[in-house]
Structure 1
Amino acid sequence: MYGNLNEIDIRSILQLIELGQRTGQLFVEARSHNSNKLSVDEVIRQGSWSEFKQQSWYVFFLNGQIIYCQDSDSSLTRIADYLRHYRVQTRLDKVQLAYLETLNAPEYGYLWTLLERNIIQPKVAQTIIHRLVHETLFDLLSLHQGSFIFDLGSAFAPQLTTLEIAPLVTKIMKQVQEWKLLYPHIQSPDQFPVLADITELRSSLPAATVNKLQQWVDGKTSLRQLARYLNRDVLTVAKAIYPYVQQGCVHIVYSSTSTDAQIQKSQQELLQKARIVCIDDTATICETVESILKPLGYEAIAFTNPLEAISRIFQIKPNLILCDITMPELDGYEICGMLRHSTAFRLVPIIMLSSKNAFIDRVRARMVGACDYLTKPFTDTELLMLVEKYLNYSVVWRHNQNVRLVDPIPDRVKDNIT
């Protein structure tokens, strides 16, 4: 079963899976509304890489019930956010984290590791799974554009819990409708609430209210993160803040201003020395890639022989890889799979190149670990937008990992979580 969301919506897809008592996984990919409206210069200048953040989700089923949901950010940041509510301060070492990142569902593996070590109890793990499923379905049921494919398969194992689809969808659909009432003041769970002038607030609001707002509305924490920290759904958190937004006491923005400078600096450093490898058996494509990237300061290295590329790529250590799918001796899927099993290339962005534009090929590319898919022939703008997107996204991803998985839990979170 596969198709477009403008032909059948997520709710109907879930109902069909439930009625058929299907076991397998649903892959959903959202379409970007802004990618065709901005030039490369505008993307960089406006910091619009967040608009191009990979938007895709997996939902795993057993006999028509949901086992688990995973979004496109397969890192452990969501789990780390939820663990703050339970004051779990244990962090895995780098070797353990590196192993988890090789799994198809690292979050799920992380929870099982914590369970096996008696760091958390089964009830806590089940609650976190329920929250992850709820959060993911809230996003999916809000979608109107995109593609999907349901793949029948063996059960996702082991199972921590299962959730019935019908009551869950009914509850979340009601929340999606309520969320629309917050427009235009609050538009996205990924927006950041920021306090207005503190002096003015103290003159118009009770001291206790101002203090509470200061603890949480710091411009560094998104509405979605707040919901995770408090173990609440994002609608409840947004509705609690909404009156202050209406009064002008709290502003809602799309980026965390406290980290913009750090991210921008990291972006500039990376872009100045970015090394990009192109693997394509067509010499014309290799020459095209080099002619587009080299004048902009990138170090572009092309290979027409995939076997030679594999032997050299570990020495070159590129920041991004462009890889053709159809090649003699070794195809792009095989190359991507091999690289993803290497610690050195587990997090390096890989973009597949193909003359086909079939949805099933895009899904297969994602399954072997590719970040994106570029159809040949491509324009200068199309190539540059993807290159900038994933080099910038890589910087932000690493920044978030350092903040959320390495740093200790902030005191304000320990002291104020109820």
Structure 2
Amino acid sequence: MLAGTINNTDFVSKLTSLKQERFSGKLLLKDIQNQEWIIYLFLGRILYATGGHHPVRRWRRNLLTYCPQLDINNLKFPENTENISGDISWEYLLLYSAVEHQQTTRDQAAKIIASIVAEVLFDITQATNITGEVKPDNLSVPQLVLLEPGQALAEAQHAWQNWQKAKLADRSPNRAPIIREPEQLQQQVSPAVFQNLTKLLDGQRSLRDIAAGMKRDVMEVTSSLLPYIQSGLIEFVDIPDAAPPISPPATVASQPVVAASNALIACVDDSPLVCQSLEKILTTAGYQFISIQDSLRAIATLLTRKPELIFLDLVMPNTNGYEICSQLRKVSVFRDTPIIILTGNDGIIDRVRAKLVGATDFLSKPVDAQTLLEVTQTHLNKTPQV
């Protein structure tokens, strides 16, 4: 039985040894920012990969790229699951079902999977301080394609080397560009270019999303924006993952799905790790998510996005959770919105003060996944009593 931990220095050798041992199961990886990936292996070859930033966006983007005629929102899970056992991603099952129902071809599905795996391996290559473990699983699923780990890794490393040569090493293709200084940018480009940039760089689509929509390589698109990025005219923001098209069944999901709700949840916290942790848990459960790390922009961003529930850090630079909560309660649109205070100091005085400014509930950090989901469900399913 294979088990143990790995780091990024022997990631390649680990996949190679798993290939030689004809291993079936999952390779689970995590980086220093708590991004998690899953590589599914069947007899040592790659069956599928998921996790990391935007698994649903990645899946949807590649389906639309290689199978544009497919109606993603009408996909259904396989009705006959007698030939399916083991823990496999819902993304893979929906794709397999599309092939079975002749909504797409096996060749198209193979291209989709290869592209998804390439993106995942690229992100893993770009990540730092990776740890992980292998978990045997007697996966019994129809194989749409089986990829050679060595070739897939070599292609990912080549793409990463080109990304570095283009001086993009500190830029993630999963972040969304947005115009920071529109007036200055307008002076530097033609009216037609400015109009196109304004439409594309809306802060709602990642570099990968934009490149796919333009049918261009993501490195080419990012490189073309680099001069404006370096001059501060364009900046990057983190965006939430898309919601799954349907709720994954508990029998095949890697984590139990407690909500098919498409509710938008916001987290105002200056800690990237806290935001990423909440995003991972909540998006896996089917929620949409937005993180706000700049407390001074919190209210403006919340007014723009109008989330249905807000997690609010108590201690932040420049302001605090009490002040933001108090201001939000003065705005009619947030009068009844559940506001959950996050704090590492769960004291009675803090709780009383939080209630006085209109907080709905109190949650201690570090946040436990099950508690987070229970609190979220509780307050989304009832009218808050403030």
TM over 0.5: yes
- Residue 412 of structure 1 corresponds to none
2:28 alignment partner, SS class? strand
- Residue 18 of structure 2 corresponds to 17
TM-superposed deviation, 1:149: 1.5
- Residue 252 of structure 1 corresponds to 236
Say if 2:309 is the partner of 1:266: yes
What letter matches 1:62 in structure 2? F
Say if 2:366 is the partner of 1:385: yes
| Higher-RCO chain (CA-CA 8 Å, sequence separation at least 6) | 1
- Residue 245 of structure 2 corresponds to none
Whole-angstrom CA distance in 2 between matches of 1:178 and 1:147 = 25
Say if 2:32 is the partner of 1:31: yes
Map Cα deviations across residues 69-98 of structure 1 (whole Å, 9 max, x no partner): 02167974432233333434624469969x
Q: Which one has the bigger helix percentage?
A: 1
- Residue 303 of structure 1 corresponds to none
Matches within 5 A, 1:354-373: none
Q: Any conservation in 2 of the 1:135–1:233 contact (CA below 8 Å)?
A: no
**In the superposition, relative to structure 1, how do residues 5 and 227 fare at CA in structure 2: closer, same or farther (>3 Å)?**
farther
- Residue 126 of structure 1 corresponds to 110
- Residue 161 of structure 2 corresponds to 177
Say if 2:188 is the partner of 1:242: no
Q: Which runs of 5+ in 2 are unaligned?
A: 240-289, 293-299, 312-336, 356-360, 377-386
TM-superposed deviation, 1:241: 2.7
Whole-angstrom CA distance in 2 between matches of 1:391 and 1:263 = 20
Matched length: 277
- Residue 190 of structure 1 corresponds to 174
2:365 alignment partner, SS class? helix
**In the superposition, relative to structure 1, how do residues 295 and 178 fare at CA in structure 2: closer, same or farther (>3 Å)?**
farther
2:223 alignment partner, SS class? helix
Q: Any conservation in 2 of the 1:138–1:176 contact (CA below 8 Å)?
A: yes
Whole-angstrom CA distance in 2 between matches of 1:183 and 1:263 = 37
TM-superposed deviation, 1:17: 1.9
What letter matches 1:13 in structure 2? K
- Residue 219 of structure 1 corresponds to 203
Q: Any conservation in 2 of the 1:25–1:60 contact (CA below 8 Å)?
A: yes
The one of 34, 40, 48 aligned to 1:60: 40
1:385 alignment partner, SS class? coil
Whole-angstrom CA distance in 1 between matches of 2:5 and 2:166 = 28
Whole-angstrom CA distance in 1 between matches of 2:170 and 2:349 = 40
The one of 152, 158, 163 aligned to 1:168: 152
- Residue 39 of structure 1 corresponds to none
What letter matches 1:385 in structure 2? P
What letter matches 2:309 in structure 1? S
**In the superposition, relative to structure 1, how do residues 60 and 264 fare at CA in structure 2: closer, same or farther (>3 Å)?**
same
Whole-angstrom CA distance in 2 between matches of 1:389 and 1:207 = 51
TM-superposed deviation, 1:148: 1.5
Q: Which runs of 5+ in 1 are unaligned?
A: 33-53, 275-287, 299-319, 321-379, 396-418
Q: Any conservation in 2 of the 1:75–1:106 contact (CA below 8 Å)?
A: no
TM-superposed deviation, 1:103: 7.1
Say if 2:93 is the partner of 1:109: yes
TM-superposed deviation, 1:105: 0.9
**In the superposition, relative to structure 1, how do residues 14 and 226 fare at CA in structure 2: closer, same or farther (>3 Å)?**
farther
Whole-angstrom CA distance in 2 between matches of 1:266 and 1:290 = 23
Whole-angstrom CA distance in 1 between matches of 2:349 and 2:370 = 16
Q: Kindly, what percent of the aligned residue pairs are identical? A: 21
**In the superposition, relative to structure 1, how do residues 384 and 21 fare at CA in structure 2: closer, same or farther (>3 Å)?**
same
TM-superposed deviation, 1:136: 0.8
Normalising by the residue count of structure 2, what TM-score does the alignment of the two structures yield? 0.57
What letter matches 1:23 in structure 2? S
Matches within 5 A, 1:276-295: none
- Residue 68 of structure 2 corresponds to 87
- Residue 147 of structure 1 corresponds to 131
What letter matches 1:266 in structure 2? L
Could you say what the CA RMSD is over the residues aligned between the two structures, in angstroms?
Answer: 4.5
Whole-angstrom CA distance in 2 between matches of 1:270 and 1:63 = 48
